[in-house]
A = this chain, B = another copy of it.
């Protein structure tokens, strides 16, 4: 009895007794004045009714960054102590990376400030520890902008679907990959051509590795998995495959299958035999009827499937200065709503998965580029048969030179891990010009 609090003990004071927090002003300090930081400052200064006053902007070489049009009261600084030692109520961290961002957030929380961050790598790696620091300090740490930019996916999943039991999260979480793949699809461009255009337009960085090889999406998938599936998974446990192996010809074959290609991130919980998590970030074949096929350019999409409400979809602009700034500012409002106090969240201790694997049992698409000779199909089919993998169809477009002939097999549903073994064996045969490309076929 004594351990359970009664209603009377926990009843809040009535609204009339409470200070009118709604009218107060929140002092906000900004760490990082890049694309998103500039948008945050712009949007806050454009809203005359905003309860948030920007008091500090920290950046290296801040003199060069300083802008007209922002309130004169803002203190521009390149000394982080000016921010951490200030009377700001909320610190927005937008410098990215693990350090010094993590140390600064930790110090801000311990000094009684709430923190809003868009730092996916940091939340992915050290989110749990920082959340604990925030709770211990009686403050809030919000990271809605770390996944899918302006799309309210974290709040949608964590709060809007709190009443469901989610078992699957899938989505298009990287706008750079989606831009490149939709460009290849619409124009017939090669990967390198589409990447170059993405770089010229500012949709891809000079070193595109984090995006095209899937590490960016993987960090977001880890955050969504923890927030929505309540499963504790580390990023290095999740398989990633690069989209750089996709050729223009794959879009032709995908088209023949009434499909297209997208970088898809999936995490799926299976509790039928312990807690198994299936998770991967990889290019995949997607039917044109799927909502994922309709995500164009740099947009994002997050699907969450629950036992009770079925599949819910959130989509929109997942990156860019203004959309990400909207997520940051929405988090400011969220903190204001609880007057900066930690919300009374229920014990959602993430479970540790007994196993994490990428062995989805789905149909597959395998594209071969070969130096033609008799027997290729027979030898390939023989190895697949040995692993009990059924062939659904063989597609071969006319017009390829015999020295570099592309053909495709679609395979009946099988375990990705088993198929990988078969493909390793097939790859040893002598006719390959390029390694076989294997993509799962995901339908909604």
Q: Which of B14, B19, B160 contacts A156 (CB 8 A)?
A: B160
Number of chain A residues whose Cβ lies closer than 8 Å to a Cβ of chain B = 85
Q: Which of B43, B289, B316, B333 contacts A310 (CB 8 A)?
A: B316
Instruction: Give residues 424-440 of A contacting B (CB, 8 Å).
Output: none
Are B326 and A317 closer than 8 Å at their CB atoms? no
Tell me if A164 counts as interface (CB < 8 A to partner B). Answer: yes
B-contact bits for A321-345, CB 8 A (1 contact / 0 none): 0110111111111101111111111
Q: Which residues between 1 and 26 of chain A lie within 8 Å of chain B, taking CB atoms?
A: 3-5, 7, 9-16, 18-25
Q: Is A350 at the interface (CB under 8 A from chain B)?
A: no
On whether the beta carbons of B326 and A164 are closer than 8 Å, the reply is: yes
Say yes or no: is A208 at the interface (Cβ < 8 Å to chain B): no
Number of copies: 2
When distances are taken between beta carbons in the complex, the residues of chain B under 8 Å from A341 are 12
Option from B149, B313, B316 in Cβ contact (under 8 Å) with A316: B313
Chain B residues near A322 (CB-CB < 8 A): 308-310
Are the CB atoms of B323 and A12 closer together than 8 Å?
no
20 contacts between A and B (CB under 8 A): A5-B19, A7-B87, A14-B138, A18-B138, A49-B347, A150-B164, A150-B308, A152-B159, A156-B156, A159-B334, A160-B330, A163-B326, A164-B329, A291-B291, A308-B322, A309-B323, A310-B316, A312-B317, A313-B313, A314-B314
Q: Which residues of A contact B (CB under 8 A)?
A: 3-5, 7, 9-16, 18-25, 27, 39, 43, 47, 49, 51, 87, 89, 112, 135-138, 144, 149-152, 155-156, 159-165, 289, 291, 294, 306, 308-317, 322-323, 325-334, 336-347
Inter-chain pairs besides A291-B294, A309-B316, A333-B346, 17 sampled, C-beta below 8 Å = A7-B27, A10-B19, A10-B339, A10-B340, A14-B136, A21-B344, A22-B346, A39-B308, A43-B308, A47-B165, A161-B326, A161-B330, A162-B329, A163-B332, A310-B316, A336-B344, A337-B344
